[in-house]
Amino acid sequence: MTCAVILYWSSTGNTKKVAYAIKDGLEAAGVNVSIIKTTEAEDIDYFDYDLVCVGCPSIQWHPPKQVTEFLLKKFDAYRKHGKIKTGAPKVPGKNALIFCTYSGPHTGLNEATPWASILLSSLSTSASQYWMNGMF
Ligand SMILES: Cc1cc2nc3c(=O)[nH]c(=O)nc-3n(C[C@H](O)[C@H](O)[C@H](O)COP(=O)(O)O)c2cc1C
């Protein structure tokens, strides 16, 4: 069975709602899903999953500092174990999804899209494929 983990950070609950909606959708498709707050996910190994989903809001035009730090810490740990390769080659069968909520009505989507793509590329050792944004 395909295994997915959804890692999310949410301050006022919007991103959490989206995370659980993704969980419901994946489970309806027969995927085995774990859902964990980034603050409780330090020990997660991305390579245990076929799909890694990471979601957070746009805060002052960026991912929250806590999420950037969480991802950087993971990146450093994988680098130490030789899993970060030059050019970030895709790992067959491994996928990633970034989701972002925002509410900046004038440039929100334009802000959220670039950093969602950057977060996605930071996960590219596990073969990143998709991102999605949603407004609250
Ligand atoms: C302190 C703060 C800063 C925010 N900065 C932005 C921003 O720069 N751009 C934007 O589109 N939305 C911004 N928002 C709106 C949030 O991204 C939006 O409400 C999001 O859905 C909140 O997610 P959460 O409920 O999971 O915490 C900000 C919200 C807060 C509280």
Which CATH number covers residue 24? Answer: 3.40.50.360
Pick the residue whose CA is nearest to atom 1 on ligand 1. Answer: 59
**Residue 84 tokens, joined:** 């970060």
pLDDT tens digits along 76-129: 888 898 877 777 677 788 888 888 888 877 667 777 777 767 666 666 555 555
134 domain-assigned: no
Helices (H) and strands (E) in the chain, counts: 3, 5
114 domain-assigned: yes
Q: Taking 90 as the threshold, does the pLDDT of residue 13 lie above it?
A: yes
Contact 58 CB / ligand 1 (< 6 Å): yes
Range of the domain at 69: 3-122
Q: Taking 90 as the threshold, does the pLDDT of residue 134 lie above it?
A: no
Q: How far apart are CA 24 and CA 120, in angstroms?
A: 22
Give percent of the chain above pLDDT 70. 82
136 domain-assigned: no
pTM as predicted: 0.89
- Fill in the amino acid letter for 88: A
Pick the residue whose CA is nearest to atom 3 on ligand 1. Answer: 59
135 domain-assigned: no
Between 49 and 83, name the one with better pLDDT. 49
107 domain-assigned: yes
Between 16 and 103, name the one with better pLDDT. 16
- The number of distinct structural domains making up the chain is 1
Largest CA distance in the chain: 43
Ligand 1 closest atom vs CA 16? 26
